[in-house]
């Protein structure tokens, strides 16, 4: 496995049991078996809260039982990677959340995975994936702007569901590219600006209030109201007025896997609605702007556009690029 470095000065870190230390005496604690490069409270506390409550909701395999394959399908469709060709690859996962995609790589490929997240979601990831061999899975709590690995280290880098929630989209992309080897591939997804109407949406109309409400209270309000909102959402779709659902303060249920039972659907709806209203940052981007960011950072863009995950859903916007 790759060694961690101190992201502030680039020096290697040795493992002292409870902490990592560099030659200058700088230390980073190891808590719950996870090196922490960012222990202070930061703007991602909503995600730490969310992923530790809903730690298993979106995980394909819970207790080694296969529940669904939605994360697997999304991962391979989005990246275009083939599990059989990934043996021995070093993969970097940025912003791993509760570890749904970590699990896909660990269970479906023979690659070595290096995952990090800025929030305490790493604890949920660990509890979901601790049964995988530590010789191919290294987890840390770190920021995308200070990734604790040497530059040019990874064959593949991916970052799903994260970039729109960072304060500086372009610097985040630059940081990911820096860590890929020359010839390595970077795949990202992001919320897209389609036109002026993108922000005419309950999310953007209400977020300036909701993101300031305490996480507990916001979750309480959402849970209290979720049933009638699901009912109304489904009704609007049924009478072919689905376009009006953008004014309902609930996540887009059409993006959910089709095989959820009603209890799971409620749980997903609460999780995704919290995920929509609680983040400090929500910065959708124009596709051509993101492609240009990649182009000016020494990469060749191999694909940019939409990936359709199921018949009903909105698509995911992605960019794939190779580092030159």
Q: 3-state DSSP helix/strand/coil percent for the chain, to nearest 5? A: 40, 20, 40
Residue nearer to ligand SAM on the CB measure, 190 or 233: 190
- Name the token pair of 161: 């569901």
Residue nearer to ligand SAM on the CB measure, 125 or 245: 125
Residues 71, 100 contacting (CB under 8 angstroms): yes
Q: Where are the alpha helices (DSSP H) in 13-142?
A: 45-53, 70-79, 100-108, 121-129
Residue nearer to ligand SAM on the CB measure, 100 or 126: 100
Residue nearer to ligand SAM on the CB measure, 117 or 252: 117
- Min dist. Cβ of residue 250 to ligand SAM (A): 17
Cα separation, 245 vs 178, whole angstroms: 40
- Min dist. Cβ of residue 13 to ligand SAM (A): 19
User: Closest-CB residue for ligand SAM?
Assistant: 97
- Name the token pair of 303: 């694909």
Residue nearer to ligand SAM on the CB measure, 69 or 234: 69
Cα separation, 68 vs 185, whole angstroms: 27
- Min dist. Cβ of residue 96 to ligand SAM (A): 6
Chain positions contacting ligand SAM, by CB under 6 A: 44, 47, 51, 94-97, 100, 117-119, 121, 143-145, 160-162, 165-166, 275
Please list the residues that pair with 113 across neighbouring strands. Answer: 91, 137
- Min dist. Cβ of residue 264 to ligand SAM (A): 16
- Min dist. Cβ of residue 54 to ligand SAM (A): 10
- The upper half-sphere exposure of residue 297, i.e. CA atoms within 13 Å in the direction of its Cβ, equals 22
Cα separation, 270 vs 39, whole angstroms: 27
Residue nearer to ligand SAM on the CB measure, 251 or 321: 251
What DSSP state is assigned to residue 36?
B
- Min dist. Cβ of residue 228 to ligand SAM (A): 25
Residues 247, 202 contacting (CB under 8 angstroms): yes
């Amino acid at each position: 496995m790759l060694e961690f470095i101190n992201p502030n000065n680039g020096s290697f870190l040795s493992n002292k049991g409870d902490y990592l230390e560099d030659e200058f005496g700088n230390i980073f604690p190891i808590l719950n078996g996870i090196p922490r490069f960012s222990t202070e409270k930061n703007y991602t506390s909503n995600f730490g809260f969310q992923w530790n409550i809903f730690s298993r909701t979106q995980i394909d395999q819970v207790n080694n039982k296969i529940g669904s394959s939605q994360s697997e399908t999304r991962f391979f469709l989005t990246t275009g990677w083939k599990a059989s060709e990934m043996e021995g690859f070093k993969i970097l996962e940025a912003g791993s959340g509760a570890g749904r995609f970590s699990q896909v790589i660990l269970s479906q490929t023979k690659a070595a995975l290096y995952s990090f997240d800025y929030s305490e979601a790493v604890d949920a990831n660990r509890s979901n994936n601790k049964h995988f061999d530590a010789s191919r899975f290294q987890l840390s709590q770190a920021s995308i702007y200070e990734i604790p690995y040497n530059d040019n280290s990874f064959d593949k880098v991916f970052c799903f569901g994260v970039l729109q929630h960072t304060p500086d989209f372009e610097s985040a992309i630059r940081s990911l590219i820096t860590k890929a080897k020359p010839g390595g591939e970077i795949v990202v997804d992001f919320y897209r600006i389609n036109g002026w109407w993108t922000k005419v949406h309950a999310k953007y109309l209400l977020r300036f209030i909701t993101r300031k409400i305490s996480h507990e209270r916001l979750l309480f309000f959402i849970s209290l109201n979720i049933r009638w909102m699901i009912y109304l959402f489904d009704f609007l779709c049924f009478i072919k007025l689905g376009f009006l659902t953008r004014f309902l303060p609930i996540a887009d249920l059409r993006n959910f896997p089709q095989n959820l039972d009603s209890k799971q659907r409620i749980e997903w709806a609460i999780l995704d609605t919290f995920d929509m209203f609680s983040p400090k940052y929500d910065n959708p981007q124009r596709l051509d702007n993101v492609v240009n960011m990649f182009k000016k950072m020494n990469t060749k863009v191999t694909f940019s556009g939409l990936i359709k995950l199921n018949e009903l859903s909105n698509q995911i916007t992605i960019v794939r690029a190779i580092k030159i």
